[in-house]
Structures are given as C-alpha cells and as structure tokens.
Amino acid sequence: MQRYFLSKIGQSLLLIFGVLLLVFVMVRVTGDPAALMMPRESTAEEIEAFRERMGFNDPVTVQFLRFISGAVVGDFGNSLHFKTPAMPLVLQRLPATVQLATVGLLMAVIVGIPIGLIGGFNPGRIADSLGRLLALLGQSVPNFWLGLMMIIYLGVKLRWFPTFGRDEWKSVIMPAFVLGLPVMGQLVRLTRSAVLEIRGEDYIRTAHSKGLELRTIYYKHVLRNIAIPLVSVIGVQFGYMLGGSIYIEAIFAWPGMGGLLEQSIGWRDFPLVQAIAVFTSIVVVTLNLLTDITYAIIDPRIRYAR
Amino acid sequence: MSKILEVKNLVTKFYTLDGVVNAVNGVSFDLEEGETLAIVGESGSGKSVTMMSLLGLIPMPPGKIESGEVIFYGHQDLLQLTPAELRDVRGGQIGFVFQDPISTLNPILTIGEQISETLTRHKGMSKEQAREHTLKLLAQVGIPDPELRYKAYPFQFSGGMRQRVVIAIAIACNPQIIIADEPTTALDVTVQAQIVELFKQLRETLDVSVIWITHDLGVVAGIADRALVMYGGRPAEIAPVDDLYERPQHPYTLGLLGALPRLDDKEAKRLVSIKGTPPDLLIPLQHCPFAWRCEYAYDRCWQEIPPLITVGEAHQVSCFYDLKQGGPRDV
Amino acid sequence: MPVENATVTADSLLDVERTWKDRLAYLWRFLWRDRGGLVGLIVFMIVVLAAIFAPAISTQDPFEQNLRASKLPPAWDEGGSWEYPFGTDSLGKDIFSRVIYGTRVSLMVGLFGVLIASILGLIVGAIAGYVGGRLDETIMGMVNLILSLPYLLFVVFIAAVLGRSLLNVILIFGITDAPIFARVTRGEVLRIRQSGYVESAISAGARWPRIIFDHILPNLIGPLITLATFEMSRMIFYEAGLGFLGLSVPPHEYPTWGNMLAAGRKYLTSYPWMATFPGLAIMFTSLGMNLLGDWLRDVLDPRLRRSRK
C-alpha cells in the first residue's frame, strides 16, 4: 500500500505542476499578456511600461522560473486592482467558499443518498420514479438560473431568506442548496445504480442462500460495498463544489473565491485570476488525493495488495 | 431409507423483455436420505433454475414459480413458506455451494466472518463461539493455518481454497441437504479432484444428502448414487448411476454417453455429438423438447409432452420411444 | 426443424446482419416502454425544429430594438401583447424570438463542440487503448490530470483570455471535453482488445480495415453516442454559464440563452421574465437531452438491459 500512496502523491504533485504550467501558458497564449491585462484605452507607452514592470519582456524560461519559484512560496505577485499581494486576498475568501461547499454537500448527502437507497431497494415503484425525477431535475436545471429564481420568489417575494451576502446564518441556505442540487441528483442516481448492481451480484445471492436476516444482508453486505464507490464520488464532488462555485457566489454576492474570480475577470486582473486558479486547483487536487487515500483504506483489496 | 425431499411438478418461468422464458416445465424427483443425486444437463436445461427455485433463490421479478410442491422432510411445502420461515431453512437446514468462488464470496469481508455469520444466525452462537467453531470448520475442509486464514480476504486465496471456504459455509450449520451447483466447473482439473474427494469425506462424517448439479458425466460417475438427466426444462431420465450408464433409456442420455470418451473403449471410436441446438425456451412447451434433435422421434413425440414412465427398478424416463424394443412405447 | 428465433435483442441491435426494419421495430418497442426516452426524443426534435424554422416561428426580428416597446411583460400579463409573447428586454427586443434563435447557437455549440471533442478523443483514446504500455500510461495520466481539475474554473479562465466569439466557445468546449471521450474510447478499446476477438479475427486472416470496421467501431458507437448526448447537454449548459458571465458570444452578434440571462440579471426583481424564459429554455433542452441519453444508454448497452414483467 505504501507504493500506492507514494505514487498518488507523486501524481498529485505532477498535477499541480501541470496546473502551474497551464496557467502560465494561458495568460501568454494571446502573445501579449500586457495588452490582455491593461484596459483597452491604454496607450502604447502605458502598455510598454506595464510590460517592463511585470517582466513580460524577459525570455519565457526566465519568466517561468520566476513564476514557479514565486508559486512555491505563495507569491503570485500583486493584484492589479487592489495593488496588494494576490494570494492573501484569495486566502481571505477561502472560509466562505468552504462553508458554502460544506453545507451544500451536507444537503446533497443527507437528501440524496437515502432517496437513492430507497430507489435501489424498490426499483420501479413510485418512490423510485419520484427519486429519479428529482435527480434528473437536479442535474438538468441550470443552477445559476435556479439561483436567480429562488432569489426572486423565496427571497424577495416571500422573504424567507436573505438574498445576498453572508450576514446571517440563514444566508447560506439558498446558495448552498443551489450549489448542492446537481450533486444531490448525481448521488441519487449513483446510489441507486450501485444498490441495483450490487444486489445482483453473486455474493448477495450467497448471503440470501445462507438465510441471513434481510437487515444483515442490507447493512453488512450491500451497504458496505456501496460505501466504497460512494466515498470516492463524494470526495470528488466536494472538490468540484469548491472549485465551481463561481456562479452561485456571483448571484448571491457570497464573499468567497468564486465571487472574487468573477470580479477579477471583470477587472482583467489576471495576476489575481492566476492566483485563484492555482489555489483552487491545489485544493481540489489535495481533496482528490485524500479521497484516493480513504478509498484505499476502506477497500481491503487495495489495502492488502502486494 | 426415507425420502428427505420430494419435488412435484415444479414450473418456473421468467417474464423478460424478450418474452416468457419457460425455464422449468414440470420437474419431479425425490431425494432419499443420505444419497447423492446428480442433476445432469447442458446449459439451458433448467438444472440450476430448478434447484434455485426450491428455496426461492431466483430473482423474482422477472422470475416466478408458477406451480408445484417441494416437500421437505415429509411435511413442509417449501414453496408455501413465509419469507421468514424460508430464511430459517436456507443455510440452517439446506446449504448451498455455488459455482464460481470468487464472485460467490463478498470481497470486503473476511472469510472467517462470512462463515461465522451463519453460525450466529442459525445456531444462536456468540461471536466467540462462532469463531471457535469456524476454526474447526476451516480445518475440516482442509484449509491450513485456520487461525491466520480466519482474518484473510477472499482475494488472498486460490480458487480451490476459496471453494473450500464456500463448502465450509454450506456445512457450517449441519444442514440436512447440500445443494451444490457445479462446484467444480470453475476450477482446474486437479483441484476438481480434490474437491470431489473432500465432498466424499464430508458426506461420510456429516451424514448429509447431496444434490450435485453438473454437466460433466465423469464427475457424476465419481460421486453420485442416482442421476437425473434434464433437458429443455423437463426431466429426461432418472436412474441409479450404474443403470444409467449401462442401460440408458432416453435418446438424449444415449447421446450424452456417446459423446463421452471412455478409457475402456476397445478401439478408437468417433465421438458422436448430438445434432441440432438447445431448444428455444421462449416457446411454450407443447411436445417433447428433444424432438428436434432425436433420431427416433415420431408423430406422437410432436403432439404430447411425454410424462415420466417407470421402466425399471428406480428407473424412470420421459420418452415415447422404447430403445430396448426399438419401437414406440405402448403407454 | 429448429425454429428461427425472430426476436431482436439489444445485443443484436448493432449486429451487421439485422435488417433496418427489425432495428426500427425494436427501437420503437423500447421507446414506448421507456417513455422518458420518448419525451427526450420529442424535446430534442422540438429544439432542432425551432432552430431550423426559427425565422418562421419567431414573432419579431430578434435583433430589432424597439424602445417604445421595451420592458414589456409576457403576453398573458397586464400590459403585454401577443406580438411579444414572452415580453421584451430593456431595449425592446422580443424575448420569445430571441429564445427561439438561441436554439441555433446552443445546438451549434453542442453539435460542433461534441464533434471536435469526440474526434480528438476518439483518436487519442484509441491509440492509447490499442498501443497500451507506456504510451497508454502517459496519455491517460494527462487525461486524468485534465479531468480532475475544476472544469468550470478553467473554461472560464480560458474564455476570459481568448475573448468572446462563437468559434472560441466551440473550440474551448471541444478541446476541454476531448479527455472524457478519450477515456471512454480507451476503455472500450482495451476491453475489446482483451476479449480476444480481435486476436481471433487476425488469426482468421482479417485485415486491418475489416477489423476496425467490423469489430472495433460497432462496439464504440453505442457508448460514444450515449456520451455525446450527455456532453452535448453539458455544453449547452456551460455555454449558458459563460454567457452569464459575459464570456460567450457577444449579444449583438447572436442571441444566446446565456447572455440573455446575463442581461436579465440586472432587472431580476423588477422584470423577472427577462431571465425566466431563457432559463426555462436551457432547462427544457438539458432535461430532454439527459432523458434521451439515459434511454440511449439502456438501448445500446446490452449488459445493462433490464428485464421487466
């Protein structure tokens, strides 16, 4: 198992390096990163001065080394808009995004998995059909649009929840729900199909042939086998939620990293965009790594494999 | 010798997207106490489905046990039991051994746990007692180092060892009957012989009746007292093994034996294979299922389903043609 | 004497010997049983027809501004009119017509995006799966790298850098979605390669084109079509998202559902219909395509075929 861990960690590091490379390349892909970052009305001299200051005239390899060495210590330059270091600005926004993603995930898990289980154990019945409908809707409704609708109806018209900001504890409910809905849909489907698949496995037939109580069969044999793929998906989805909350945060004016991303794109503040992209990727990669490790621990086939 | 199991006219169908599959079309047989009955047939003959139906182990949609009686011990009809009662019989009084040991065992539970759980369930043992007993069982089926192996997982065993574990599970609660569905088919030939040996030993020590499903006539000769040959969801012939091999009365049995190479053949003989293909189970049975491939079939074979006819001591056959006389049977 | 089995099963659906009539008959039966698929197909057809016949169905020119008729509510509300069934936006453009014309952009993005992604992915995945070994590991490593990253983040980043145009959007989706197609293709190719019938075909003397067309491609079509349907749905979704952030096609070039949402966002509390209808359109299309994809998956993958009473 040691080898498994080491190789996974190695892959993660490679991944992060890949992200840094990608981010570096993307900003320069148009040929002139200075023109990208300066407002359109700038004069040629202003742009040239900017280019000098940012080091864009240096050879690419030098720029890259500078970038990497900065990245390793967390230095991504200064935000063009705020004129202060970029990374601390991002980190400041981290707790809000984590809170949003966590609450959203909790909602998705608490509602989604039981519905999926009911569907898997009673396929074809009404509860199952309703569950699958919910899953389908959850995955098809554009979450940014749903957010807007909820703001109008639940926020403004009915006044159940605050429509923006992070001031009260209630503020997190609507955005978390909207963020978590697609994940909920996916969990319903995944749980359901996992239950159906495992119920058809030979070893479940063996469990029945042993005359075990149904409760034993369901909990010890079926559910435990589902747990493995489920944990894996939940971990990955959490990562996506952390990295993909841009719309939700924008709509609900939630002070997280996604909201900052939307704003910095509007400001063309690419150093800040870079910082957000890299940091978010690191978070996601770390989460995937943790998920893989957990998976390896709970699946004995990997735990004891030579 | 008394009967321990009587199956009467079992009919099982599967309602699938492609139509109704008539898997078992009226099977009847008995099992005597202490004997080993082999069920022989090709894929699709209904042998597995019949045995699974006895204890309701077929998937129920799409499967349905339409009719029949399965009298266990001379008083309970298994098909009429409530699910809870059925669960008591399964594992507790009738044990199962399935074909492919890797998929038969739960990959994420230790094998010790998988054996112990039947003991706690049926014998009311505590975890400690169950563990003790399991270690004895592991020794009994020939697994070395039981203490160590108790905590091992199925993927850490070889095929033969896994099958021994499965056998241990089957015999754990001292059942009256063991139903083994092609227990050696998925194993290497050398391992097959070992498992057959193990079964013979256990048969002695445990005094259990065995139903052994197989398509391999060689294995039948090695272990069974009587054999039931199935075809197209119907019983073709039932007889004591020696009788079956020396005086087969059903054209299908004849074909099967003819296809078997034998060490005592005096000269090199051409292996005879049976012409044609297995019957389409989607078509409801209205005549002898073997008629299409039978060289002795005549018009009666196409009009009625032949019932089981007694042709000798404990020997029955469902066929309208009399192989001994060489003409239609008069029944 | 043995009777011919005339029923067509899913395994044989893609079999080269089945007649078209048999296949259509089977598909119809399957469609009827699984009405979700029927709904999905109908929705898809509606969207396609709306795109094709947009000029005929629309009530107004989608680009025409009419400041006197601006901010009108939908026809069934007070102040609305049937000339502008879904109301108008802040510049007086008819929302209904813009939604209808929006289908064109969405379909183009979806279709071409999937086309690019599938061709790229197919080639990469097939090579990886067939050659195996080190090349396979490297390629799959990169594929997994791209797939494990927050997709949205990078799409937004890239779109921000490249600027707004339909071509950019299509290219971005095409390239960033290729890894998924690559992964699926590689999985299938690997499975086929390991199952031995390619070996037997080769040893039976089959030559390359035949192996590819008779053995490999038929097995790929099923999963790829299913995947294509789901990915198309996703692309339409993400295009709308990009439009929402102002990163998709500029509004004066084409009406897209995404940029309609962005425009509507400003007037959300006062004139909610501006955002409601494009959103409904997205949901409708997405739902339909997901249903269609589900159905296709059931039909084309015999291993997942369920038996029912």
Cα B178 from chain centre:
9
User: Would you call C2 and B14 a contact, using CB atoms and an 8 Å cutoff?
Assistant: no
Q: Of B165, B174, B170, B180, which Cα lies nearest the Cα of B111?
A: B165
- H or E, element range at A133: helix A126-140
**Cross-chain residue pair A243–C276, CB shorter than 8 Å:** no
**A106-164, pLDDT tens digit by residue?**
999 999 999 999 988 888 788 888 888 888 888 888 888 888 888 888 877 777 777 77
| Confidence bin at B171 (pLDDT 50/70/90) | very high
Are the beta carbons of C290 and A139 separated by less than 8 Å?
yes
From the list C158, C237, C245, which residue is nearest A26 (CB)? C158
Record: contact C308-B276, CB cut-off 8 A: no
**Calpha distance C286→A137 (Å, rounded):** 9
Contact residues on chain C for B277, CB-CB shorter than 8 A: 2
- Rounded percentage of chain A residues whose pLDDT exceeds 90: 13
* Whole-number pLDDT of residue B262: 67
Identify the pLDDT of residue C305: 40
Find the mean pLDDT for residues C288-306. 72
The B residues from 93 to 122 touching A (CB cutoff 8 Å) are: 95-96, 98, 100, 103-109, 117-118, 121-122
Element (H, E) at C130: helix C95-131
Among A19-33, B193-207, C245-259, the range of highest mean pLDDT: B193-207
Query: Which one-letter DSSP state was computed for residue C305?
Result: P
The domain C34-308 is placed in CATH, from the list 1.10.3720.10, 1.10.730.10, 3.30.420.40, 3.30.1360.30, at: 1.10.3720.10
Neighbours of B184 (CB within 10 A): 24
pLDDT at position B94 is 92
Question: pLDDT category, B167, cuts 50, 70, 90?
Answer: very high
**For residue A121, which phi and psi values (nearest 5 degrees)?**
-85, -15
Partners of residue B105 in chain A, C-beta under 8 Å: 203, 206
Q: Is A207 on the interface with B (CB under 8 A)?
A: yes
Rounded Cα gap, residues C58 and C66, in angstroms: 16
What's at A206, amino acid-wise?
Answer: T
Distance CA A252, CA A234 (A): 24
Show the CA angle centred on residue B175, arms to residues B173 and B177, nearest 5°: 155
Query: Is the pLDDT reported for residue A242 higher than 50?
Result: yes
Task: Work out the number of other CB atoms within 10 angstroms of the CB of residue C282.
Answer: 29
* Percent of chain A scoring above 70 in pLDDT: 99
Question: Tell me: the pLDDT tens digits for A160-214?
Answer: 777 777 777 888 888 899 999 999 998 998 999 899 888 888 899 999 999 898 8
Q: Which residues of C touch B15 (CB under 8 A)?
A: 307-309
Per-residue pLDDT, C308: 30
**pLDDT of A272 strictly over 80:** yes
Q: For residue B62, is the peptide bond before it cis, meaning its omega torsion is within 30 degrees of 0?
A: yes
Please give the mean pLDDT across all residues of chain B. Answer: 87
User: What Cα–Cα distance (Å) separates residue C269 from each residue in A167, A177, C273, C274?
Assistant: 21, 20, 10, 10
> Looking at this predicted complex, what is its ipTM?
0.85
Delimit the domains of chain C by residue range. Answer: 34-308
Q: Given a cut of 50, is residue C274 above it in pLDDT? A: yes
Residue B212 buriedness (CB in 10 A; 0-12 / 13-18 / 19+): buried
Numbers of helices and strands, H then E, in chain A: 15, 0
For residue A108, the one-letter residue type is A
C305–B17 CB contact, under 8 Å: yes
% helix, strand, coil for chain C, step of 5: 70, 0, 30
Is the predicted pLDDT of residue C13 greater than 60, yes or no?
A: no
A198 and A222 Cβ atoms separated by less than 8 Å:
yes
For the record, the structure tokens of B301 come out as 């074979």
Tens of pLDDT, residue by residue over B110-153, are 999 999 999 999 988 899 999 999 999 999 999 999 999 999 99
CB contact under 8 A, A202 and B86: no
